[in-house]
A and B are shown apart, each in its own frame.
Chain A
Amino acid sequence: MKLIQLLLLCCALLLIFAVNLSLGSVSIPFLEVPSYLWEGISSNEQSAFATILYEYRLPKALTAMLCGVALSQGGLYMQSLFQNPLAGPYVLGISSGASLGVALAILFATGLKEFFYSAFGLSLASYHLQLGGAILGSSLLLALILHFSHRIRSNTALLILGLMIGYVAGSLVSILAYFGSQQELQSFLHWSFGSFDRVPWERLPTIAIPIILCTLGSLFFLKSLNTLCLGESYAASLGVSVQRTRQFLLLSTSVLAGTVTAFCGPVAFIGIAVPHLTRILFQTQDHRILVPACSVLGACLCLISDTLSQLPGSSQTLPLNAITSLIGAPLIVWILLRQQSTSQGVN
């Protein structure tokens, strides 16, 4: 049953992917999308439509899907790790940590590039620095929250702590932005709006490889994740290496959230909303279903958000972050209200 549901979700993803490819500022007839796409892949002399589809929309759609996979997996891992249904990369300030790393990378780009070139002979592009900064920032923040999580047992207190650390990271970003030049500030501001169109073909491997590796890595921890949900001591008594699972989740979430934030900006609410939505749809706590289902649903939601932010038929585009928040926030409220009424019904 669950497998059929998953299969149906995959079909929905394919449909949403096709719709995403066919809609944009330039209108391309839906039925002609495959032929233009093929022209883009096979021919060197491309028409404008083929170029738009193959060179612009296709990498954008793939990026949206990868980000959906990464953020929803990151959210699921954090919820399992903290045993807290409200945990997520954005809520716990992990994205703020990544933002801090990116802000540092943008502001000190020239100095950092010179340093890496003179010290290691590495000629780095701005996006390499941003990726490194984001992963480092998110890792540090997550490690800090995890450190406190050993001392603080209350879920609410931990969430508040995460929020506070996120605020500190956010205020450091503001201070850095204050000292930046007008151009650096503008560059940072546009990055913070969020967008999936910042990953052309040549950069796609840089974002795809970490996400694919983390997803493959998670396959080895599915059972451990299930057992961890029953409590750390119980998991340990069943022979699960709690420490190793914890380390994997920490590293994986930092890489997933950091990679997405570096390229696409701090994308809000996908990480927290998708795992909940998946649990409601699939009525399960089994990570062997939750991880793939979360990934597919996350990809769907990111593609839908991207399609809406492109304002099809108009030459304007809306910030992606605004769209994911507009979809995600009401979804969380609905989930909370639903949980409240379910628990009242049970009582």
Chain B
Amino acid sequence: MPTHLINTSHFFGLLILLLQPVLHASQEPLIQRARAFQIEEVQNGYKLQTFKENKLIQQILLVRDSAQLNSQECKRQKCLKIPLLNYASLSTTHLNSLSELDVLSSMRAFSRKQDVSNSWLSKQMQKGKIASLGLAESVNMEVLLKLAPQVVFTYLPPSDMIHKDLLERQGIVPVFVGEYLENNPLGYAEWILFFSVFFDKLEMAQKIYSRIERRYLSLRKLASQHSREKTVLVNIPYAGTWYMPAKNGFMAGVLQDAGLKYIWAESKQGNSLKLSFEEVLLKSEKLDLWLNPSDVKSKNELLAIDSRFALLRPFQTGMIWNNNLKEVQGQTNDFFETALARPDLLLKDLMIVFHPELFQGVKPRWYHRLK
């Protein structure tokens, strides 16, 4: 063999060896921002893992071919044939993703009909075509066993599910959905990918998520160019305690991305800050805006709860905004069903409130100023 060929082959071999980790590294993981789940593409399916406090909570192998269900791999771990034909869900926070993936029609049962704002699902539940199961902690086992969906999406970790073994014996797989563990708003939105693999619609979900991400990032960029450092107060006290979103949480993240100064970010407590009325009153002079004061629709309703609210600066300046515009207009409020899974829409709404000059003529989807 001529020497130059040996050298060339060596060179290419060396190049491949050198590039291998680079090539491998360039294969980006499917999940970029969410921390509580991972999806890995495996032969003819997906490996799905969910985490809580960095511990693996559940692992499911989703396979396209029924024959794989009898494989050695499926004897070692939980396997499910995809796409699912039917399922049940126990949280309204799942509904936006399931609706966007166009799989609501395969739902057999849902938590409670009084919590639903999705009009199609609400009608189906009223007609009795989709059954009501109650809350996850006290789920109606008889109805669940009778309907026997392939999967139940629940916010309860498997260790907290009393009837987990019974459900699994009946071929009903409880799937832990921990989207509420995400602190990053876009991480929350990425959970549409989690739902999509059960219906083999990953590509569709990626397109939806990319759109959400693109919109969110461009809005955030716009907000950063116009930041005016307004300070904000959130919620109302419940039983004497003012629960304020913590600095690393979802809501505080969106507020900061919208260009607001979140003064409660100074605290280093856990997920949600517990403040007294006095502590809030102490910072009243610094407050420019007040958001999400429970389900009130007017300033009078707010005063009826506690007349001391009038002492707060945003009350005096009239800068109180709530997310129940649809209720005021006589419609069902879908804020809690949609806003978490669509942080781009939430950010846009908040930016219309904080920077109205940037969105002239555009009306918020959920927010309105209390009169």
Contacts and interface: CB of A to CB of B under 8 A. Distances in A.
Question: Bound pair: A and B?
Answer: yes
A195 interface: yes
B162 A315 contact: no
A167 interface: no
Contacts of A48: 145-146, 148
A2 interface: no
Interface in A176-197: 178, 181-182, 186-187, 190, 193, 195, 197
Given A51-B145, A56-B141, A126-B159, 6 more contacts: A48-B145, A55-B170, A187-B160, A197-B162, A202-B165, A316-B132
Most buried by A among B133, B143, B162: B162
Contacts of A186: 137
Given A51-B170, A200-B166, A26 B137 contact: no
Contacts of B141: 52, 56, 197
Does more than half of chain B's interface fall in helix, strand or loop, or is it mixed? mixed
Interface residues of A, number: 29
Contacts of B169: 55
Interface in B125-170: 131-135, 137-138, 140-143, 145-146, 148, 159-160, 162-163, 165-166, 169-170
Most buried by A among B142, B160, B241: B142
B138 A56 contact: no
B150 to A, nearest CB: 15
Interface of A: 24-26, 48-49, 51-52, 55-57, 125-127, 178, 181-182, 186-187, 190, 193, 195, 197-198, 200-202, 315-317
Nearest to B132: A315
B271 interface: yes
Contacts of B166: 55-56, 200-201
B238 to A, nearest CB: 11
Nearest to B138: A190
Contacts of A195: 138
Nearest to B274: A178
B20 interface: no
B336 to A, nearest CB: 14
Does more than half of chain A's interface fall in helix, strand or loop, or is it mixed? helix
Interface string B293-324: 00000000000000000000000000000000
A52 B146 CA distance: 7
Contacts of B142: 24-26, 52, 56-57
Nearest to A59: B166
B162 A182 contact: no
A317 B137 contact: no
B160 A190 contact: no
B169 to A, nearest CB: 7
Nearest to B157: A183
A23 to B, nearest CB: 10
A178 B137 CA distance: 20
Interface string B3-40: 00000000000000000000000000000000000000
Contacts of A181: 270-271
B77 interface: no
Contact of B134 (A49, A126, A178, A315): A315
A316 B145 contact: no
Given A182-B272, A200-B166, A190 B135 contact: yes
B160 A126 contact: yes
B117 to A, nearest CB: 20
